[in-house]
A = this chain, B = another copy of it.
Amino acid sequence: MTAPTLIAGQWRPAKASATFRAENPATKEPLDEFPVSTWEDCDEALTAATEAFEQMRQLSGEQIAAFVEAFAGRIEGRKDEIVKVASQETALPASPRLADNELPRTTSQLRQAAAAAREGSWSMPTIDTKNNIRSMLGPIGPVVVFGPNNFPLAFNSASGGDFAAAIAAGNPVIAKANSSHPGTTKLLAEEAFAAGQAAKMPAATVQLIYRTSHADGERLVSDPRVGATGYTGSRGAGLKLKAAADKAGKPIYLELSSVNPVVILPGALEERLEAIAGEFATSCLMGTGQFCTNPGLLVLVAGDATERFLETVVGKFKAAPVGTLLSAGVAKSLSQGIGQLIRAGAHTLVGGKVAGGKGYCHGNTLLRATGEQFLEAPEALQTEAFGNASLAIVAADLDQACQVLEHLEGNLTGCVYSHTGGADDAAYDRVATPLRFKVGRLLNDKMPTGVAVSAAMNHGGPYPATFPAQWDPKLGIHVT
């Protein structure tokens, strides 16, 4: 039976143009069947969300907070089933990854959002008693959330970061499930809806569709009834949605792609080559490399230590098990990405082939190119190969390494490893200057994976990593 959509407070059959099936990427076996909604479903969801939004505007932060907390509790209550389905759909390990890390993170995020809704300072109230002017931020209207494939719980469109932020501020959410984990999304939406019903939230506070045509997706994000859209996913699909939303003057918050450059300075290699090689291999292969902050681009300066470092990493890549990728789509795009890098001049130090693991997989891959090659084809050599693959750029010298950094696109993160005794300090200043403006977050002596949920954490970066860049100062300050 095809799974029902959740529209206007009803779990009901989609007005569907087609169906698709979830798939177990470890076994390549088909799982449940889900509908591709027509515009009719989107239209009904938008109308219902508009009504829900009007009702939500009457609710207190306390009421919203209680609902969100109840939802978090319900996720915990149905933990085993949610983890099981998520693991089936994504091949991510049930434990520790899903049960012990991602699910607690998800409920913690929801509770932080609830606390913010209750406390209310996110609205940044400003009172000018002299001029009798008051201003504050407020909810923006129905928010469409397109969640990514790689966090079936913590960034799920029906339970993740964008969802939590939108709901906490008083916006109803139309969740568009990621096609690689629709069953997980359905379970989460069931709990969100049940929590909403018990808390007397408007019926369409949370709605769920699984998939639409590309044209309907573009129509959805630019519909006059929409307040804003949150999207995390591939650059190609994201830019199409951006173009549609931009044309309509609708805000869209995008996280698109990032190769997360890691610069390792000569003194750091001299000092602790083995340790850094270990950190890099772990960061690169963790979760089969399917993190937004995966270190996809290494920048090194030519020399014996660099050769030894790369050999060490190759050894670790060979020794490490090959993980299963999230879906057939990820496997295909990883192969394509590696192919593009090779066509652009990179050569393979290890891996590069579809092999070595269970289901959809690709051998742990390390590619290599020179700084000169990079400067000749900077765009092609920044192709994101999402998964367990990285490209090492070996620059002739520090000057060329800086030039490489100047040719980077916008990224989420940039890392610099330097000698702890200060031997790299001058080199650090030189590389950090160009790198700083290419990344949203600069890390010192740490790999980019591992994003803490913290008010100080910036997960934005210059376009095309995200848009808007979250460090965007809006021309600095408003003096008028």
Q: Contact partner of A471 among B137, B437, B441, CB < 8 A?
A: B137
Name the residue in A109, A228, A253, A474 with the highest tally of chain B Cβ atoms < 10 Å from its Cβ: A474
Contact A135:B472 (CB < 8 A) given known A246-B242, A249-B463: no
Q: Does A452 contact B (CB under 8 A)?
A: yes
CB contact list, A386-444 vs B, under 8 A: 410, 433, 437, 441
Contact A452:B109 (CB < 8 A) given known A139-B476, A162-B475, A471-B138: no
Q: Does A230 contact B (CB under 8 A)?
A: yes
Cβ contact within 8 Å between B168 and A230: no
**A410 CA to B456 CA, complexed, in Å:** 33
Nearest B residue to A466 via CB reads: B249
Cβ contact within 8 Å between B135 and A475: no
Q: Does A377 contact B (CB under 8 A)?
A: no
Within the complex, the shortest CB–CB distance from A165 to chain B, in Å, comes to 5
Nearest B residue to A124 via CB reads: B473
Cβ contact within 8 Å between B453 and A480: yes
Cβ contact within 8 Å between A128 and B452: yes
Q: Does A141 contact B (CB under 8 A)?
A: yes
Within the complex, the shortest CB–CB distance from A422 to chain B, in Å, comes to 20
Which residues of chain B are within 8 angstroms of A473 by Cβ–Cβ distance? 122-123, 137-140, 169
Which residues of chain B are within 8 angstroms of A468 by Cβ–Cβ distance? 251, 468, 474
Contact A456:B122 (CB < 8 A) given known A246-B242, A475-B140: no
Which residues of chain B are within 8 angstroms of A122 by Cβ–Cβ distance? 473, 476-477
**A432 CA to B335 CA, complexed, in Å:** 56
Digitize A440-477: 1 where CB-to-B-CB distance is under 8 Å, 0 elsewhere.
Answer: 01000000000111111111000110011111111111
**A421 CA to B127 CA, complexed, in Å:** 25
Q: Does A49 contact B (CB under 8 A)?
A: no
Cβ contact within 8 Å between B455 and A113: no
Q: Does A148 contact B (CB under 8 A)?
A: no
**A381 CA to B204 CA, complexed, in Å:** 34
Instruction: Tell me what chain A mostly uses at the interface: helix, strand, loop, or mixed.
Output: loop
Which residues of chain B are within 8 angstroms of A478 by Cβ–Cβ distance? 161, 165, 455, 459, 470
Q: Contact partner of A109 among B54, B126, B140, B480, CB < 8 A?
A: B480
**A459 CA to B478 CA, complexed, in Å:** 10
**A480 CA to B472 CA, complexed, in Å:** 17
Cβ contact within 8 Å between B475 and A171: yes
Cβ contact within 8 Å between B454 and A128: yes
**A472 CA to B471 CA, complexed, in Å:** 16
**A250 CA to B463 CA, complexed, in Å:** 8
Within the complex, the shortest CB–CB distance from A234 to chain B, in Å, comes to 16
Cβ contact within 8 Å between B249 and A472: no
Cβ contact within 8 Å between A135 and B477: no
Which residues of chain B are within 8 angstroms of A24 by Cβ–Cβ distance? none
Listed by A's residue number, 29 A-B pairs whose Cβ atoms lie within 8 Å are A109-B480, A116-B477, A122-B476, A122-B477, A127-B456, A131-B454, A133-B452, A133-B457, A135-B471, A137-B471, A138-B473, A139-B476, A161-B480, A165-B476, A166-B475, A169-B473, A171-B476, A230-B475, A242-B246, A246-B246, A249-B464, A249-B467, A251-B472, A251-B474, A253-B474, A451-B480, A455-B478, A459-B480, A468-B474
Assuming A112-B479, A135-B471, A453-B480, what are 9 further A-B pairs, CB within 8 angstroms?
A54-B433, A133-B452, A138-B471, A140-B476, A169-B477, A228-B472, A228-B475, A251-B472, A451-B480
Which residues of A approach B to under 8 Å, CB–CB? 54, 109, 112-113, 116, 122-123, 126-128, 130-131, 133-135, 137-141, 143, 161-162, 164-166, 168-171, 228, 230, 242-243, 246-247, 249-251, 253, 410, 433, 437, 441, 451-459, 463-464, 467-480
